[in-house]
A and B are shown apart, each in its own frame.
Chain A
């Protein structure tokens, strides 16, 4: 009796533990928490920190661009720097943070309003209703015009900086001009993934930009990647159940030394150095951890890796009907014959008819409308794409199409296609097999 009770208690305990593990690790993977360490960007970090410090403490205006591919930790760098700086009291009291995002503030007008809002300027005039864009701009300029170093310094972070570099770069010009003029000290920090960002800037905007660039390039090798993998999966020391945490971490250590795991990681690393894709992989593996399966195994990771690298179109093909597969094969043959020239439904239908009449044993000779329906379904799945836009009066049968599947993809998909009739399979390998 007591043993059963303790067993159930254990079960509850285990469940609780695995839930906690899930929570901690998911938080780590999904949020860009600034708890995690920075990898290989110490130089850049120092540069940014110094720059922000000078703005905050000495009132020196600065502008800098942080450039790096997606997932290279630009935002994380900024968050880290801010977190550290905000612990310094004089920085904390002097800095006004403004965060803009090119995807949220889609034009300068909205961005200006957002800046005004985040600088708490609207309080100055007690509920002012902002009028026109022009009014807004002059309002902000007025606010920032103070010729002294006695005002606090707005630090303006512009995410997706490239989206602000459109044809009329009033906002950027304004911000950079302030940073180059003896006005309120500001720091403009742009984050972008485009390497050609400077070419996007208009020449006078470019001249006003200080040309400081901080590049984040994921410049780490595989050993470091492995270390990151370990660090990301390890449970923190604060984990309530020390024993479990120890066991878990030991397991992770084992995993990192496992050869198959290394292979998986190496493959993943080859595809992308992006830490987000690693998080994706780990998240998929983590989902398999339950109370009955408390520790991550190599199999979990391998499966996750497979999921990650799966070809999405091949997956779609697996779900097609035999008729649709036949149509795709017909298209493939057409592509072979006519060297990638576009085809229309009638051609595909004729090819299919040929196959059905001469070779097929298992395929029922479908009516033309049925085949048309299947063809349209393929179009909906975007496995085939019309060459030009569909016009209403054009006949559907004669609209030119292109196949969006590669030959190798088709063949690979067919091999895995469940219950594929042999005659179809044969037909796929050679268009002349019926001869």
Chain B
């Protein structure tokens, strides 16, 4: 045993812990030969830590801020609550380090590499003092002295170095209605009543409670010595603190730990992979390979990747092997604020889920403190009656099952163990073999590992990506999610992508139109989908032919569509894709994927990548990464089978300084393998010439189409087609509105809006009994006036006397100076004179200033900011003639 010579123990006896983290105690180093070295009696926290570290230079422990660590080289058992140093806290966002009592979920270390590090999966708990100060009030009461909180924060790294684990403590989970015992018999017992998720305190969920209780209960039964295993500790750079966990098979197959595989407690009900029940599709296997790949490259992956492929609500037990290491070492520990000693331990027992396929029921056992320790085992916490009652009914049953079928469990676990070895080998082996081997691994294996990944908060994105082998990346299918899909977000954050948000549905159904006018209004609404698009037949055909030919040729291409707003550009393209999709269903054209992005609905041009990627594959990624993925998808050989039709609306908003977004969009189709058809829409005809660099414009190509504004006859035709079956408009009226709008803008939306408004006016206007109730020219004129008449003149007419006077004074001043601009002071003097002439009371400066700023606020005037006071310059925002006209009317 190589590391035997280096085996040492550091024992620290806490004497007292100061409030500021100062810790006084002595540290004894025991050497294998039996000699001890004492470090000293009093240390400040830092001193102690440094002393420990300098002595045990190979300690790869993160400098968690709160908890003191002592090197432990003893086997740690799953499910035990142990004190650990806080992880180097890269996610320091949690504010403060989370130190206390991680319940061990899994401890693994690569078997074949004796010098590699051990990793442990832990569930963090926090002490009250570690809750951010500004959030402490959320508890609403004083924390009990030995109270801790289940740390339900997915972003927190649950994967720590095994060396950081100091020793067991006893944790008593309390139901919300239980009181925390005041008379503490054992100071090393911690009480957990609430969970803390960085936002609020919550009572522990019943499942969790039950799990913890069960653990406690089961511990005495299955305590057993754990086999030892030597290994040496390699000191690692801090950055590797988040390295991939590898599952490992304990070599000591004789130890009972194999027979009683444990699985971790899942604090949160997460959706799980269910590969068992699924047929092996290439998709899932690829994703698994990715998973393995990411697992298998510890150096590259920063942490685990969360998998969220096919999910099933089924909770799966996690078979796990105990990894044990050093022999009898005593490792008491203290934390800075609280004394807690590792003597007491607690067994965690997982919930026993029912496996659909394999029906394995397993339970986790608690593992005991190794024999070499001075008999420090403290009796387990007695279950409280309430807790027992609260437990789920099925759990005791499952437990019984587990205990009654030891053989089956044994067999199962050994097969799992076998698989694990295989997986392990595979990790270490070259990646090329992975695919084949992966196929033989039982699904549970994968789900196990992936589950583990999932529970850890997801890794920074770029790293996750880098772990995915390139070749695989290209073969990803849109239907599944690759590891790279998990962006740098906590699982919780990811949920919204899975849940489709919905506005509350209405309690009362929308009323159906009752009258012809209402019916017409419904049809006239811009949102109403017309049966056909009249007047755009030629454009429709052009676009259709373009896309169809690309589809048939299996090539890619770009098209630029321009036209003023409201000329049916987007509608036509939609119609084209609709028709093509129908054709694809009828097998007339090859099937294709249709993706639509709108430049206006993006917060930032680079977000377009994210949107495209998400719509293509359902993945979420950061902009940069999405760009890489898309480039890979479109530019590498042998990628997608289907052509992608991409509609980019409001192209001009994708303009960036470097124009890289546009460049990419137009560059992808030029690749032979891309099979990407890009249809771009913008308002200006000369956009490529105006804003695009040559290289971008050249890639866009010369396939242009411009939608001319509708002429009056076209508009008329559009209206007629919409109102085909309802007769509510006089024919003259339709013609009038068509001509009006054609003269103004040729915007079909305007046309429809005017007509809609006219129906409203018609409805509200008093009807003569003999009239047919049609919308007349008069109604339409009223609607047109309402929408297009300038409100400046009415505003001037309705302004107060002084305001009108001020406008007159401005006109007078302009006439005097011959300029279109005057300072307030000049206008004021004119104003005073005018008021005197009209017999109005003398206007004070303050009043006049108020008048001026009022006129400025409704933009009749353009004024400078009022800090310029007398010197602020005033201009008219209306033409002088209009002002004169409005003032003369009186």
Contact = CB atoms under 8 A, between A and B. Distances in A.
Pairing of A with B? yes
A146 B600 contact: no
Given A69-B858, A193-B858, A271-B800, A93 B851 contact: no
Interface in B168-224: 199
A319 to B, nearest CB: 16
A270 B850 CA distance: 13
B795 interface: yes
Contacts of A141: 601
Nearest to B828: A406
B496 A270 contact: no
A140 B791 CA distance: 34
Contacts of B603: 108-109, 132-134, 137, 170
A19 B753 CA distance: 53
Contacts of B798: 217-219, 273
B501 A270 contact: no
Interface string A386-398: 0000000000000
A69 B860 CA distance: 10
B610 A121 contact: no
Interface stretch (A79-87, A307-315, A323-331, A366-374): A307-315
A149 interface: yes
A254 to B, nearest CB: 24
Contact of A195 (B490, B792, B869): B792
Contacts of A149: 509-510
A73 interface: no
A139 B496 contact: yes
Interface string A132-154: 11110111111110100111111
A256 to B, nearest CB: 20
B398 interface: no
Interface in A96-150: 96, 108-109, 119-121, 124-129, 131-135, 137-144, 146, 149-150
B503 A402 contact: no
A69 B601 contact: no
A346 B756 CA distance: 70
A183 to B, nearest CB: 8
Given A270-B800, A310-B846, A69 B854 contact: yes
A251 B683 CA distance: 65
Given A134-B610, A152-B503, A128 B496 contact: yes
A271 B847 contact: yes
B753 A203 contact: no
A43 B501 CA distance: 38
A94 B507 contact: yes
A272 B854 contact: yes
Nearest to B790: A195
B866 to A, nearest CB: 11
B693 interface: no
Given A133-B603, A211-B787, A213-B787, A125 B496 contact: yes
A218 B750 CA distance: 28
Interface centre among A213, A217, A271, A313 (most CB of B within 10 A): A271
B61 to A, nearest CB: 30
A135 B850 CA distance: 44
Chain B residues touching A, range: 35 or more
Interface centre among A139, A141, A149, A311 (most CB of B within 10 A): A311
A60 B521 contact: yes
Chain A residues touching B, range: 35 or more
B607 A134 contact: yes
A385 interface: yes
Interface stretch (A30-38, A174-182, A350-358): A174-182
B877 interface: yes
Interface string A147-191: 001111110000000000000011001100100111111000000
A132 B623 CA distance: 12
B598 to A, nearest CB: 8
A123 to B, nearest CB: 10
Nearest to A142: B501
A121 B496 CA distance: 10
A195 B858 contact: yes
B837 interface: no
A134 B611 CA distance: 10
A215 interface: yes
Given A128-B495, A311-B845, A270 B802 contact: yes
A152 B506 contact: yes
A259 interface: no
A426 to B, nearest CB: 24
B525 A60 contact: yes
A215 B604 contact: no
Interface string B574-613: 0000000000000000000000000011111001001100
Contact of A203 (B527, B564, B869): B564
A16 interface: no
A267 B841 contact: yes
Contacts of A217: 791, 794-795, 798
Nearest to B841: A267
A371 B695 CA distance: 68
Contacts of A132: 603
Interface string B742-756: 000001011001101
A181 B527 contact: yes
B528 A207 contact: no
Contact of A143 (B503, B510, B565): B503
Given A57-B511, A194-B859, A402-B871, A311 B566 contact: no
A313 B522 CA distance: 59
A195 B795 contact: yes
A58 interface: yes
Contact of A208 (B501, B749, B847): B749
Contact of B800 (A185, A208, A269): A269
A50 B760 contact: yes
B500 interface: yes
A58 B511 contact: yes
A212 B761 CA distance: 12
Nearest to A144: B503
A125 B846 contact: no
B236 interface: no
Interface string B872-890: 0000010000000000000
B815 interface: no
A121 B503 contact: yes
Contacts of A194: 857-859
Contacts of A359: none
A203 B502 CA distance: 30
A207 B749 CA distance: 7
Given A404-B869, A406-B870, A127 B518 contact: no
A151 B502 contact: yes
Nearest to B614: A138
Nearest to B526: A180
Contacts of A210: 753, 756-757
Nearest to B503: A151
Contact of A46 (B747, B764, B802, B841): B764
A213 B513 CA distance: 25
B505 interface: yes
Nearest to A121: B501
Nearest to A407: B829
Given A61-B525, A120-B504, A125-B499, A311 B513 contact: no
Contacts of B384: none
A94 B508 contact: yes
Closest 4 CB pairs of A and B: A207-B565, A59-B510, A311-B844, A217-B798
Interface of B: 199, 489-490, 492-493, 495-496, 499-511, 513, 518, 521-522, 525-529, 564-566, 600-604, 607, 610-611, 650, 683, 747, 749-750, 753-754, 756-757, 760, 764, 786-788, 791-792, 794-795, 798-803, 825, 828-829, 832, 840-841, 843-847, 850-851, 854, 857-860, 868-871, 877
9 contacts: A46-B764, A93-B506, A133-B604, A134-B607, A152-B506, A152-B507, A183-B527, A195-B792, A215-B791
Given A50-B764, A274-B854, 7 more contacts: A61-B527, A93-B507, A125-B499, A144-B503, A154-B503, A194-B858, A213-B787
